[in-house]
């Protein structure tokens, strides 16, 4: 009996610790400002980091999120994402967070996409957005849409990895700020990845997958897929 209790205890600990390891590891130092020059670098977890004695406030700083991204003529989606991640602010390296400004022309769309490495929390500063995300495949085979119309000051969360979108349903420009739980969230724009891949995914694969005639697939593949 005692042995069984101990085994149960070990199993519970094993499950609990495997859950704990599902999160990003905690950083081992205050920060690891990304640097390209190996002579100015230390190694942490196999990556170059700037020697902390040489880090400056500029490593943690970026200007310009007050400026709208261009959404005018020639921007076919009428949306523009200005991302500030570790690529723009080297001090974000290893910290697991980034931010984006998203501008929308009237009826502009940030098309269905996912962030493979980040949950997103979005707040509307101006305008009215229709937003939503779709769950992964549920046990009953469904994918459920969670959607909402957001006004100024409203906040909405897009869980990590799930397909989501934002559409400006107002007659005026809209702007939102998004926080992302990765220093390098990544983007998969669904249409671009599926129909715009370089080289193209085989028509046989896509016509079977989408239950569409090959000519429809070829037409979709011939389109110019863009992301904001």
Ligand X SMILES: *[C@@H]1O[C@H](CO)[C@@H](O)[C@H](O)[C@H]1NC(C)=O
Nearer to ligand X, 90 or 228 (CB): 228
* H or E element at residue 175: strand 174-180
Smallest separation, CB 65 to ligand X (Å): 12
Using the rule CB under 6 A, is 69 a contact of ligand X? yes
How big is the site for ligand X, counted in residues (CB under 6 A)? 5
* Backbone dihedral angles phi then psi of residue 84, each to the nearest 5 degrees: -115, 100
Q: Is 108 exposed, middle or buried (0-12, 13-18, 19+ CB in 10 A)?
A: buried
List, in order, residues 6 or more apart from 207 with CB less than 8 Å away.
Answer: 213, 214, 216, 217
Q: Which of 35, 80, 129, 196 binds ligand X (CB under 6 A)?
A: 80
- Of the candidate spans 32-40, 67-75, 111-119, 153-161, the one that interacts with ligand X by CB under 6 A turns out to be 67-75
List, in order, residues 6 or more apart from 40 with CB less than 8 Å away.
Answer: 50, 51, 54
Q: How many CB atoms lie within 10 A of CB 115?
A: 23
Q: Which of 27, 75, 192, 221 binds ligand X (CB under 6 A)?
A: 75
Smallest separation, CB 81 to ligand X (Å): 8
Q: Which of 24, 45, 51, 70 binds ligand X (CB under 6 A)?
A: 70
Q: Is 39 annotated as a binding residue?
A: no
* Backbone dihedral angles phi then psi of residue 112, each to the nearest 5 degrees: -50, 125
Cis peptide bond upstream of 28, omega within 30: no
- Of the candidate spans 50-58, 69-77, 156-164, 195-203, the one that interacts with ligand X by CB under 6 A turns out to be 69-77
Using the rule CB under 6 A, is 43 a contact of ligand X? no
Closest to 228 in 3D by CA, of 71, 70, 79, 74: 79
Smallest separation, CB 103 to ligand X (Å): 8
Q: Is 164 annotated as a binding residue?
A: yes
List the structure tokens of 124. Answer: 């509307």
Q: Is 50 exposed, middle or buried (0-12, 13-18, 19+ CB in 10 A)?
A: buried
Nearer to ligand X, 80 or 166 (CB): 80
Q: Is 198 annotated as a binding residue?
A: no
- Of the candidate spans 68-76, 121-129, 203-211, 214-222, the one that interacts with ligand X by CB under 6 A turns out to be 68-76
Binding residues for Mn(2+): 113, 115, 120, 164
Binding residues: 110, 113, 115, 120, 164
Binding footprint of ligand X on the chain (CB under 6 A):
69-70, 75, 80, 228
Binding residues for oxalate: 110, 115, 120
């Amino acid at each position: 009996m005692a042995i069984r209790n101990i085994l149960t205890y070990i199993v519970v600990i094993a499950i609990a610790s495997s859950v704990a390891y599902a999160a990003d590891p905690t950083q081992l130092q205050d920060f690891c400002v990304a640097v390209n020059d190996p002579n100015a670098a230390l190694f942490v977890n196999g990556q170059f980091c700037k020697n902390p004695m040489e880090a400056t406030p500029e490593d943690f700083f970026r200007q310009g999120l007050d400026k709208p991204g261009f959404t005018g003529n020639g921007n076919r989606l009428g949306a523009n994402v200005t991302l500030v991640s570790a690529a723009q602010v080297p001090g974000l390296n290893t910290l697991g967070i980034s931010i984006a400004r998203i501008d929308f022309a009237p009826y502009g769309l940030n098309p269905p996409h996912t962030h493979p490495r980040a949950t997103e929390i979005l707040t509307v500063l101006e305008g009215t957005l229709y937003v939503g995300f779709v769950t992964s495949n549920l046990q009953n085979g469904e994918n459920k849409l969670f959607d909402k119309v957001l006004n100024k000051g409203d906040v909405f969360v897009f869980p990590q990895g799930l397909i989501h979108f934002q559409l400006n349903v107002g007659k005026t420009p809209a702007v939102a700020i998004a926080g992302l739980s990765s220093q390098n969230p990544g983007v998969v724009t669904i249409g671009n990845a599926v129909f715009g891949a370089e080289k193209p995914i085989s028509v046989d694969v896509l016509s079977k997958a989408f239950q569409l005639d090959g000519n429809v697939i070829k037409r979709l593949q011939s389109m110019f897929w863009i992301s904001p």
